[in-house]
Structure 1
Amino acid sequence: MSVELDDANLYINRELSWLNFNKRVLDQATYKGLLPLDRLKFLAIYGTNLDEFYMIRVAGLKALYKAGVNATGPDKLTPIDQLTQLRDEIRNIMPDLESIYLGVKKELEESGVSIKHFSELNEEQKSRVSEHFFEHIYPIIIPIAVDATHPFPHLNNLSFGIALELKGKDGQMKHGLVRIPRIVSRFIHIDNTFVLVDSVVEHFSSELFPGFTPVASAPFRVTRYADMDIEEEEADDFLGILEEGLRSRNKG
């Protein structure tokens, strides 16, 4: 029996194969033989892996697509084919990811450790978190109004922030952005409770934009292209390559 080596069905796409590998990392978070905290660590590893995958592999495919490259490998998938399949696969995984996280979160609560939003705290906890916010976080976070005179700012790779829709006293709508520096922990620790810092910033957003009332908000994190290939023959022009890479990152 002869085998046609150009048959695409004989090959597994590298990027889709990597997603399957990372899914096995996520599966470890479902193993009941592990302590809840260890399962939470596997969730964190899965997320970190996915960040790096987007920063390098997905960003590289997007660069090929924007350059008009339609070449395929043995699997016969073009860059846009791969991007489409990757998007669909990750969308299918997201509900499982959320379900696993909520399950681990519940088990942590049963063990006496809670992960909460600011609105879920009791009054005594809210008072302590508020004190921590105004003493340690409020002085260093950066509120930015986004309008015709204040264009959307450049955001560094893996930077974290909150986008806001604001309503002025005159009824005028405006968009705002709060940049949260990396030195700020994602959680505020109160006894056995870990409070999501973005929920605290969202709660006090009216303090950051005087005269405006927050109508809607959403936390976000930016993932940028983090790979620059340097050909051996171009090594002597490393500075030029680095400058070009930085310009590209500034454009997203």
Structure 2
Amino acid sequence: MARPVIGVTCYVEPAKFTVWDMRAALLPYMYVDHITRAGGQPVILPPAGEPAALAGRLDGLIIAGGGDIDPARYGAPPAAQTGYVREFRDEAEFGLMETALRTGLPFLGICRGLQVLNVALGGTLLQHLPDVVGHTAHSPAPGTFGRLPVRLSPGLAKIYDGEDLTPAHYHHQAIDRLADGLEVTARSDDGTIEAVEVTGAAFALAVQWHPEADEDGPLFHALVAAARR
């Protein structure tokens, strides 16, 4: 059986590679490794042209981690800590998200991807989580993942084969008002929403942590299995 085609959104940032220092469309290779090991064929989707028009050629979609969403999309002024806003990426990913939801394309949101899902459906975000929870364990230092336990719902626990998980976190924002049509499927001990799924969808879920940073990849296997179906 052919590998299901899994589209993955990406960054557009200044980057250094070999002898070059220039603007590049890039994605941490951990995503590629996990999709490939799960039996999928990864395809990187840069935020250019009309990526939403490609949804019909995909078997599954991942909206990857990245910078903050423009707060204007959920009716808020930007906080001082909100950063790395890329409006062209917002435009592309919200279009992809809306198309995936409309067509039933199997979808996995990772970190920023969870926030895109919530805002696309009418929810809002906390722009700087440490101001709310009183600690920085969700994003302990630049370029450093934090390890924070979360409690999973029964459905998500089946994917992970257990209710308790200590995944890699790197986020300073989180869901504030949960959008209609979403169900919370994981929380951390401080009450932060760490995972959601679209009510009634065959496979449309998102996590606030970074599953690509771990050796095991049950979420990627679950997405590829849904894409095969």
Give me the TM-score of the superposition, normalised by structure 1. Answer: 0.26
Q: Which has the larger radius of gyration?
A: 1
- The structure with the greater share of residues assigned to helix is 1
- The structure with the greater share of residues assigned to strand is 2
